[in-house]
Amino acid sequence: MSQALAMDESERADSIRLIRESAAAVAPRGGDLRRIRALRFEEPGFDPAVWREMADLGWVGLRVPEEKGGAGLGMGAFCALAEELGAALVPEPLIPAALAAALLAADPAGEAALGQVLGGRLLLAGWQERADTLEAPGSLDAPRLFVPMAAGAEGFLVPVREGGRLTLRLLPREAADLAIDQTQDGGNYGTLRAAPDFTGGKLVAADLGGALDAALDEAALATSAYLLGAMEAAFAMTLAYLKTRQQFGRPIGSFQALQHRAADLKVQLSLTRASVEGAAAQLDAGLTGAARRAVVSRAKARAAEASMLVTRQAVQLHGGIGYTDEYDVGLYLRKAMVLANQFGSARLHRKRFMALSPEAVEE
């Protein structure tokens, strides 16, 4: 390894370590979840003051180039941050906001709105026209579905196909025909209904090119990291319970059958971490094209399936108390149920991985 490359790796490791440490200001590992519980099933579903603090810390622009006002850090740092937020079940919509920032950074016309987003104004992208897809056709008259935490948005960024190009239009909240539905974890999704179409919004990007595809892949990978953090926290809570819950005069964690189940879950966590961190490192190393999309899909498919397995098993290993809403372990399952399909389900990403990288299936 050359000295320059070793220095780059050292700098990358330092940035990841520092971002994990900064996350403790908002999402301390092992903290109680009273704040999370208080925000559930209430609009907007997150704390605007905490959201502004996250913006002040520079998290929204973590991936935005420095010359555009961001931090210019890599996916390794962004995934490390998302993992810490997942461990604390932070509801503030950082990943969707970072997606919006990436789209605005793609065109000089979006600079004014980008500055507002980096400063804490919540603009969210409404790109999805049908369930379980990463495609954004940009139809003029199709509703935009599943906008995360839309109840707190100040405006919406809507990709629209115009003149053969995918443009981006900013639709203010007051001009949007918006429907809000609650989600299993206590948050919400929004549906933007076209009335009659989205061309009334301000044009903030004349041609997104491949920026939307790249940003959606990064959002999918960051969501994988969030799920990794959530399942690790649920697993840690479960191990602590197995070590303290007594039955027949000894901790239930001493029972071999439960040890085997816990070991299986640990394997799932290790494989997911390797997949997520490996994908982030490859993106930071400059991976492009089909190979880039393939490693993202591998990570998202694994994180989606593993998070559901680990959090379900965590609830079961707690016995009857795990099924009560008052006990925190169930909150992790609820979060996994919502995020496992966000930015593509395991099924979608497995299919995409097989199409992009058929030789990997043989490994």
**What is the distance between the alpha carbons of residues 97 and 99, in angstroms, rounded to a whole number?**
5
Burial class of residue 129, CB neighbours in 10 A (0-12, 13-18, 19+): middle
Contact 188, 312 (CB under 8 A): no
The letter for the amino acid at 281 is A
By percentage, how much of the chain surpasses pLDDT 90?
83
Q: How far, in Å, CA of 300 to CA of 311, rounded?
A: 16
2 pLDDT above the threshold of 50: no
Per-residue pLDDT tens for 149-201? Answer: 999 999 999 999 999 999 999 999 999 999 999 999 999 999 999 888 899 99
Q: Please, which residues have CB within 8 angstroms of residue 156's CB and are 6 or more apart in sequence?
A: 123, 124, 125, 126, 144, 147, 150, 170, 171, 173, 176, 192, 201
Indicate the helix (H) or strand (E) that contains 340. none
Residue 287, CA distances (Å) to 97, 257, 298, 302 in order: 24, 43, 14, 20
Please provide the size of the chain in residues: 363
The pLDDT tens digits of the residues spanning 301-357 come to 999 999 999 999 999 999 989 999 999 999 999 999 999 999 999 999 999 999 997
Residue 205 pLDDT greater than 70, yes or no: yes
Which H/E stretch holds residue 335? helix 329-339
Q: What is the rounded CA–CA span in Å between residue 305 and residue 224? A: 10
Strand stretches in 33-177, DSSP E:
123-125, 144-148, 155-162, 165-172
Q: 359 falls in which pLDDT band (50, 70, 90)?
A: low
Helix, coil or strand: residue 87: helix
The partner residues of 155 in beta bridges, in order of sequence, read 123, 172
Q: How far apart are CA 20 and CA 87, in angstroms?
A: 12
The pTM of the full predicted model, rounded to 2 decimals, is 0.95
The answer to whether the beta carbons of residues 338 and 183 sit under 8 Å apart is: yes
- pLDDT reading at 252 higher than 90: no
The rounded Cα 355 to chain-centroid distance in angstroms is 24
Q: What is the pLDDT of residue 247?
A: 78
- 288 — phi, psi (to 5°)? -135, 175
- The pLDDT score that the predictor gives to residue 27 is 84
The CATH topology of domain 211-361 is Butyryl-CoA Dehydrogenase, subunit A; domain 3 (1.20.140)
Q: Is 222 exposed, middle or buried (0-12, 13-18, 19+ CB in 10 A)?
A: buried
Give pLDDT tens digits for 69-104: 999 999 999 999 999 999 999 999 999 999 999 999
Tally DSSP H helices, then E strands, for the chain.
Answer: 12, 9
pLDDT one-digit tens code per residue, 103-149: 999 999 999 999 999 999 999 999 999 999 999 999 999 999 999 99
Q: Could you tell me which of 142, 145, 318 has the C-alpha nearest to residue 240? A: 318
pLDDT at 255: 81
What pLDDT is stored for residue 258 in this prediction? 86
- Inform me whether the pLDDT recorded for 363 exceeds 90: no
The answer to whether residue 360 scores a pLDDT higher than 80 is no
Assign 12 a pLDDT band (cuts: 50, 70, 90).
Answer: confident
Burial class (CB in 10 A: 0-12, 13-18, 19+), 288: exposed
Start-to-end CA span in the chain (Å): 27
Instruction: Locate the domains of the chain by residue range.
Output: 211-361
For range 209-232, the mean pLDDT: 97
Query: How many CB atoms neighbour CB 238 within 10 A?
Result: 26
pLDDT score recorded for residue 196: 81
